[in-house]
Amino acid sequence: CFAPFLCLRPPQIRVKPDRTGVVTDGVKHSMNPFCEIAVEEAVKLKEKKLVKEVVAVSCGPQQVQETIRTALAMGADRGIHVEVSGKDYETLGPLQVSKIFAALAKKEQADLIILGKQAIDDDCNQTGQMTAALLDWPQGTFASEVTLEADKLKVVREIDGGLETIKIKLPAVVTADLRLNTPRYATLPNIMKAKKKKIVNVKPADLGVDVSSRLEVLKVDEPPQRQSGVKVETVHDLVEKLKEAGRI
Amino acid sequence: MCNCMGMVLSCSVCDVIVLPFICIFKARRCIRALKAVRAEHVAPQVYSTRWSSSTVPRITTHYTVYPRDKDPRWEGMEMERFADEADVVIVGGGPAGLSAAIRLKQLANQHEKELRVCVVEKASQIGAHTLSGACLEPTALNELIPDWKERGAPLNTPVTEDKFAILTEKYRIPVPILPGLPMNNHGNYLVRLGHFVRWLGEQAEELGVELYPGYAAAEVLFHEDGSVKGIATNDVGIGKDGSPKDVFERGMELHAKVTLFGEGCHGHLAKQLYKQFNLRENCEPQTYAIGLKELWVIDEKKWRPGRTEHSVGWPLNRNTYGGSFLYHLNEGEPLVALGFVVGLDYTNPYLSPFREFQRWKHHPSIMSTLEGGNRIAYGARALNEGGFQSIPKLTFPGGMLIGCSPGFMNVPKIKGTHTAMKSGMLAAETAFSKITDENLQSETAGLYIPEYKEALEKSWIWKELYAVRNIRPSFHNYFGLYGGMLYTGIFYWFLRGKEPWTLKHNGLDSAQLKPAKDCAPIEYPKPDGKISFDLLSSVALSGTNHEHDQPPHLTLKDDSVPVAQNLAIYDGPEQRFCPAGVYEYVPLETGDGMRLQINAQNCVHCKTCDIKDPSQNINWVVPEGSGGPAYNGM
């Protein structure tokens, strides 16, 4: 079981005039790139006959179904669409999503949850870790290599200092990093076949999850415009300018 | 390696002459050595079947120029394609294609027939590659979906004010729009065409049309008897050097009884079909313009929703066709859509349509609207200007051309959406009758439907295009713009196109450029970053992106021609007419000389290069599906 995220892939983010968020209307939503890698890994495990079934899960409004279809076209067997829309969707964050995943994992009796390490719209990098904590499962995050050895999972993790290899017991949560694999294309014949695969609709309430947010967004602003630099001729000028600006 | 090549050449030349024995011996060694080199690394020059200078770095790697069946890197690759059958396949999810799809399903439901209609669209979502002014005449929409208002069609801005002016560098001379002139916009709507197309897509899906955005039609398929069998979508996973990657997958074949081609202005498959079926033998060549557009959020005090402004004149001289539009949209926030159109029959290779657009915005009458505002979008697209005289043959066994691809734009009205939609609807109606005719005896495997052309000739499209046929060509006179306006004012206003003559165009746009030495470079002002902008920041706003590791889709028939001809004679006009900065002449790393650098990732799919290249060496082909601009309501 794994969970791709719907995320924004806008060319140019625009802050909404009321500063409560960014404009999402009409912007192409597509699968989070790290989640594409997660889907690919899950499908690879199935092709190696190491897992029996791959279930794609996503939380969000109606458009999310297209993303689940892409996962199905890549090789997932069935999909679960957890319906969250409107105001709830705008405030949906890692804590609520991980509660949903934890509930689903128990319901589906999943052995493995694979997701992208972080979403490229909010860059939180929290969902995988929170899900593992809620389930009290071991976690292998930032995975660049995953191997099944008997009933344990060997995960090579990308960390600041290099690569760390750990062995964790199943059931477990794994989050995918960039170098785990190269996702396959969802080809048109597979998209057509995916239309026949099942996607089940579920509401968070059905799973006993409260999606209200503990966070309140006060305002969203564009990053400040970068000021143009100033060229100086000599070191003396540089020191003068720094003194002028009160820096030294 | 050069030595080897030289020997092989001379061998083939001295074929039957003096020293055959030695030649053959040396040739065998050469060929073996060459094979070793080929297997070892992909040195592009080895594959060139034409003798090009070894100092021309390889630019083009696309399989349409270097076929894969002769390419050893493709030996043993599985090239079988999965195929599926539909009743009708439509290439292009724009106004024409979607109107055709909707009409087909409406008829199918009405007559209780099963009909499988598939639409393939290269954009990642329906509407993402749509760009237009746009001022929509709702005639076709009223016929297609009469209850469009109840269904929530995004026609939110009826035209309230209509202004036309001639600009000089400092002044604005208003020109009255008398009723009856084609530019009169009463009853029309200002729309964000991308949103309208998206809405059409939703209507189509509701009716059961299968929409496949993100999949480009890359190849036309033919039956044994030469009729069109359908299309194949693009292959994926080909590397920048033309070799297969691990993720290589063949595209899919979609077979249909009839295929409708609605690729928009200057479609790449249509280009092939013109040659294949000789569709242009009895019409004039198509002529084009490039349209550049921006969306601005302006100061609320300056916002007049429903105001439609057009201008001609400055900054173009009287012999360069073109003009501007500025539409105040009513969609919640103070949004204006503005843009500039330049006829691609311009003669000065130093002209840059993008920079003309940027400098036009500095005209006092335009600046007053834009000051204090914010630019939020940019894009560009070529459009048709040929009108009636340039309409090709529209039907061929197995297929039909619809929309701006053959070209039904009413040039003086600057509207082509309503005619594109109507052509799609007529194609659908005539195709439906033929497909569901149980007694049909078709001579060809792909259906031939000449009834489409007959239906068009009886429709209002034909009358409309015929009436305005002489307006655009009337600009080809010494007085240029003023001659044209005079002609329109006199002949069109009184005779409404009933004059018995039909003026001709000037020939191919690509043949109009004068050599650079005969023309004066144009001094464009530097962009100020508030009203006018540089090219690269503009391209970023278009949201365009392509998978970087794929063969450049702007293919050259001959890699040596750009430097040898375009740069040498015309000073590289592609650097100026491309609105996305795809073409750059950069110094060679090794010593002196220049080379052409193609930044394929920047491409916004406008097709201008394919149209305007004076050597007609550039052939735009479709890149991997989903690539290209990400317009939102353009």
Name the average pLDDT for chain A: 88
CB contact under 8 A, A188 and B215: yes
Stretch A52-68: mean pLDDT, rounded?
91
Please check whether residue B547 touches A, CB under 8 A: no
Q: What pLDDT was estimated at residue B21?
A: 40
Which residue, A100, A111, A107, A116, is CA-closest to A33? A116
Percentage, residues of chain A above pLDDT 70:
95
pLDDT at B579 over 70: yes
pLDDT at B192 over 80: yes
Amino acid occupying residue B487: Y
List chain A residues with CB under 8 Å of B246: 182
Tell me how far CA of residue B461 lies from CA of A189, B191, B250, B290, in angstroms. 38, 21, 40, 23
Q: What pLDDT was estimated at residue A130?
A: 95
Please check whether residue B194 touches A, CB under 8 A: yes
CB contact under 8 A, B630 and A10: yes
User: Greater confidence, B440 or B234?
Assistant: B234
Please check whether residue B125 touches A, CB under 8 A: yes
Q: Alpha helices, DSSP H only, in B571-619?
A: 574-577, 608-612
pTM more than 0.80: yes
Which residue, B475, B441, B229, is CA-closest to B347? B475
ipTM: 0.81
Please list the helix, strand and coil fractions of chain A in percent, rounded to the nearest 5, in that order.
30, 25, 45
Stretch A181-195: mean pLDDT, rounded?
91
CB contact under 8 A, B376 and A12: yes
Distance separating alpha carbons of residues B101 and B203, to the nearest angstrom: 10
Stretch B94-111: mean pLDDT, rounded?
97
Q: What pLDDT was estimated at residue B36?
A: 41
DSSP string, B422-465: HHHHHHHHHHHHHHT-TT---SSSS---THHHHHHHHSHHHHHH
pLDDT at B291 over 80: yes
Q: What pLDDT was estimated at residue A133?
A: 96
Please give the residue of chain A at the shortest CA–CA distance from B632. A26
Task: Nearest by CB to B233, from A12, A17, A188: name it.
Answer: A188
Q: Are B215 and B234 in contact (CB under 8 A)?
A: yes
The yes-or-no answer on residue B132 being catalytic is yes
Which phi and psi angles does B145 have, rounded to 5°?
-135, 85
DSSP lists the bridge partners of residue B379 as B293
pLDDT, tens digit, 9 for 90 and up, residues B596-608: 999 999 999 999 9
pLDDT at A152 over 80: yes
Selecting among B99, B287, B417, B488, the annotated active-site residue is B417
pLDDT band at A232 (very low <50, low <70, confident <90, very high): confident
Tell me how far CA of residue B335 lies from CA of A10, A129, B351, in angstroms. 19, 43, 29
CB contact under 8 A, A182 and B233: no
pLDDT, tens digit, 9 for 90 and up, residues B34-85: 444 333 343 333 333 343 445 678 899 999 999 999 899 999 898 999 999 9
CB contact under 8 A, B541 and A12: yes
- Supply the angle between the helices A94-108 and A127-135 in degrees, to the nearest 10: 50
pLDDT band at A12 (very low <50, low <70, confident <90, very high): low
Selected for mutation to probe chain B from A185, A193, A226, A228 (highest B CB count within 10 Å) is: A185
